[in-house]
Amino acid sequence: MLAQRMSVPKRVVRPSGASRPDFSTVAASPSARAHAKILRVTVSAAVDLSVEVGALRLSNPVIAASGTFGYGVEFAHLVDLNRLGGIVVKGLSLEPIAGAAPPRLCEAPSGMLNAVGLQNIGVRAFVAEKLPALRTYRTAIIANVFGYSVEEYVGVIRILDESEGLAAYELNISCPNTAHGGLQFGSDPQMVSEVVSAARRASRRPLWVKLSPNVTDITLIARAAEEAGADALTVANTYQAMSVDVQTRRSRLGRTTGGLSGPAIKPITLRLVYEARRAVKIPIVGLGGVETPEDVLEYMIVGASAVQVGTASFTRPDACLRIAADLEIACVKHKINNINSLIGSIQVDSA
């Protein structure tokens, strides 16, 4: 849906028309008004922020990332969930998982480490206790799914598939395959192919595959997922990392090693999105260190159709909403009328 055309006087960015419910008041927020005063731009049209990830249409490209936004409903008193492009819920397994020993989080320069151990209430409790409230929102709800065998992935999807209210599945393939000596599914094209094909057969809902960045060549993994039937790729998960307390000579994480996230990883993941974009035709959702609307634009320029926001929600629970709200202002600043025109628009001088 194209944004309602409107004429806006010089130096003023007006709220969008009432026909765009998701952003009708966003541009009128105090922060947006402050930006508008600084911008001093001429605006002749509102910005169309809606994007498509395959068959899924989102009102804007900013999605809350798995594991950093609970099951979504816990944030409902802080954030108008209807204004988000989408919500990816905490990873779901067949049975509940208690998670790793504390400490589970520690700060790192420009980011943080986590070793949560995929703690979750299990897929059945999610369907019974969280999904009924979640499905009352207009926002696309994406279920993040994981397992320690192909059968477990399929089992979770089968249970979710019996319920209404989910827009897509996102397979977290950064999980050890117990049948293959604990090797991560996402590190081997053959295992990626097996788990994605099985998930594809289990449901007709859109299937996103969330890649691990801890691989030598992401293009091999991206192609394996595409050929096995993925509708989109999420690029990427956290980077294996570690932090040590010199005094105690112990890791700052209960599980010794963990995953690095936040602004520190953005340039690295940006490159992964750029490489994956050139390897596959399916849409890519960029994810890693997004904190500002400019970060969203960068990811889209290298080929992402949408982005997810993770660690930023730990600093500000309303980070996704603020980024989405300020995105319209950033587009005006850069004279972008339709955000889709950015996707893959990177100019390169050499291959």
Ligand X SMILES: Cc1cc2nc3c(=O)[nH]c(=O)nc-3n(C[C@H](O)[C@H](O)[C@H](O)COP(=O)(O)O)c2cc1C
H-helix or E-strand containing 125?
Answer: helix 123-125
The answer to the question of residue 262 lying near ligand X (CB under 6 A) is yes
CB of 266 vs ligand X, minimal distance in Å = 7
Amino acid occupying residue 301: I
Strand partners for 140: 86
Judged on CB neighbours under 10 Å (0-12, 13-18, 19+), 266 is buried
Q: Which one of the spans 152-160, 177-185, 259-267, 334-342 is the region binding ligand X (CB under 6 A)?
A: 259-267
Query: For 49, left (φ over 0), alpha (ψ -120 to 50), or beta?
Result: alpha
The answer to the question of residue 286 lying near ligand X (CB under 6 A) is no
The answer to the question of residue 93 lying near ligand X (CB under 6 A) is no
- Taking CB under 6 A as the criterion, the residue among 68, 93, 177, 305 binding ligand X is 68
- Contact yes or no for 68/313 (Cβ under 8 A): yes
> How many whole angstroms from its chain centre is CA 255?
25
CB of 107 vs ligand X, minimal distance in Å = 12
Q: E strands within 62-214?
A: 62-64, 86-88, 105-108, 111-114, 140-145, 168-172, 176-177, 183-184, 207-211
Nearer to ligand X, 50 or 261 (CB): 261
- The site map against ligand X for 3-42 (x = CB under 6 A) is ----------------------------------------
- The site map against ligand X for 164-193 (x = CB under 6 A) is --------x---------------------
- Taking CB under 6 A as the criterion, the residue among 287, 296, 320, 343 binding ligand X is 287
Backbone φ, ψ for residue 170 (5° rounding)? -120, 115
Query: What is the distance between the alpha carbons of residues 278 and 268, in angstroms, rounded to a whole number?
Result: 16
CB of 55 vs ligand X, minimal distance in Å = 21
Nearer to ligand X, 265 or 332 (CB): 265
Query: Which residue's beta carbon is nearest to the bound ligand X?
Result: 67
Query: What is the distance between the alpha carbons of residues 55 and 212, in angstroms, rounded to a whole number?
Result: 24
Q: Which one of the spans 26-34, 72-80, 95-103, 286-294 is the region binding ligand X (CB under 6 A)?
A: 286-294
Query: What is the distance between the alpha carbons of residues 62 and 121, in angstroms, rounded to a whole number?
Result: 26
CB of 104 vs ligand X, minimal distance in Å = 7
The answer to the question of residue 251 lying near ligand X (CB under 6 A) is no
Query: What is the distance between the alpha carbons of residues 12 and 38, in angstroms, rounded to a whole number?
Result: 10
The answer to the question of residue 66 lying near ligand X (CB under 6 A) is yes
Q: What Å distances lie between residue 233 and 60, 95, 145, 196, 305, CA to CA?
A: 18, 26, 14, 11, 10
Annotated active-site positions, please?
175
CB of 311 vs ligand X, minimal distance in Å = 3
CB of 126 vs ligand X, minimal distance in Å = 12
- The site map against ligand X for 295-324 (x = CB under 6 A) is --------------xxx-------------
Length of the chain: 351
Amino acid occupying residue 351: A
Residues 208-247 that bind ligand X (CB under 6 A): 210, 237-238
- Taking CB under 6 A as the criterion, the residue among 93, 144, 184, 251 binding ligand X is 144
- Contact yes or no for 91/144 (Cβ under 8 A): yes
Query: For 109, left (φ over 0), alpha (ψ -120 to 50), or beta?
Result: beta
Which chain residues interact with ligand X by CB under 6 A? Answer: 65-68, 90-91, 114, 116, 118, 144, 172, 210, 237-238, 261-262, 265, 287-290, 309-311
